[in-house]
């Protein structure tokens, strides 16, 4: 995110401890979805996240794969493709 400030200024980053429960992740995604990194999406996300995201039991969409988070950021923010 240091290379692309448009990401840093458009999302809220929260750090969680390694030990479970991991901060607010269980509240957003349920006990079974505490892996990191995890991009929790806001309701009504309009940036094509459905290609990369899954629905948690709580009804919150999230992206829990590093590769998919990167692909989503590339698409949403018009970043250069990875090479």
Cα dihedral 9, 61, 70, 19 in deg (nearest 10): 90
- The candidate with the shortest Cα–Cα distance to 20, out of 30, 41, 34, 6, is 34
On whether the CB atoms of residues 52 and 63 are closer than 8 A, the answer is yes
The range of the structural domain enclosing residue 63 comes to 1-7+29-83
What is the average per-residue pLDDT within 10-19? 92
pLDDT value, residue 82: 79
What is the average per-residue pLDDT within 55-63? 94
Beta pairing class for 39-40 and 54-55? unpaired
Model pTM greater than 0.85?
A: yes
Split into its structural domains, the chain has a count of 1
**Structural domain contains residue 19:** no
């Amino acid at each position: 995110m240091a290379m692309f400030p448009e990401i840093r200024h458009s999302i809220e980053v929260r750090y969680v401890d390694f030990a479970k429960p991991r901060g607010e992740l269980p509240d957003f995604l349920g006990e079974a979805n505490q892996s990191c990194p995890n991009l929790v999406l806001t309701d009504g996300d309009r940036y094509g996240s459905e290609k990369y995201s899954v629905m948690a039991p709580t009804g919150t969409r999230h992206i829990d794969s590093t590769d998919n988070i990167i692909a989503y950021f590339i698409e949403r923010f018009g970043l250069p493709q990875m090479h």
